[in-house]
Amino acid sequence: MPISVAVAGASGYAGGELLRLLSAHPEFDVVTVTAHSNAGQPLIAHQPHLRSLAHLTLQETTPEVLAGHDVVFLALPHGASGAISATLPAETLVVDAGADHRLTDPGDWADYYGGEYFGAWTYGMPELVLADGSKQREAIVGARRIAVPGCNVTAITLGLAPAVRAGLIEPRDLVSVLAVGPSGAGKSLRTDLLASELLGSAHAYGVGGVHRHNPEIRQNLMAAGAEAVSISFTPVLVPMARGILATNTATLASGASLADVRAAFEEAYGDEQFLHVLPEGVTPRTADTVGANTCLVALAADVRANRLVTVSAIDNLVKGTAGAAIQSANIALGLPESAGLSTDGVAP
Residues serving a catalytic function are: 151
* Cβ neighbours for 201, distance < 8 A, ≥ 6 positions apart: 239
User: Which burial class, exposed, middle or buried, applies to 202 when counting CB atoms under 10 A from its CB (0-12, 13-18, 19+)?
Assistant: exposed
Dist CA 105 CA 85 (whole Å): 19
Contact yes or no for 344/276 (Cβ under 8 A): no
β-pair partners for 325: none
User: Which burial class, exposed, middle or buried, applies to 196 when counting CB atoms under 10 A from its CB (0-12, 13-18, 19+)?
Assistant: exposed
CB-facing half-sphere around the CA of 250: CA atoms within 13 A: 31
SS (H, E, C) 143-212: CCEEECCCHHHHHHHHHHHHHHHCCCEEEEEEEEEEEECHHHHCCCCCHHHCHHHHCCCCEECCCCCCCC
* Cβ neighbours for 238, distance < 8 A, ≥ 6 positions apart: 179, 180, 181, 202
How long, in residues, is the chain? 348
∠ CA 235-324-263, rounded to 5°? 75
Neighbours of 120 (CB within 10 A): 17
- Residue 267: enclosing H or E segment and its boundaries? helix 258-269
Dist CA 98 CA 80 (whole Å): 9
Contacts 24+ apart (CB under 8 A), 185-194: 185/237, 186/12, 186/13, 186/14, 186/77, 187/11, 187/12, 187/13, 192/237
Dist CA 294 CA 288 (whole Å): 9
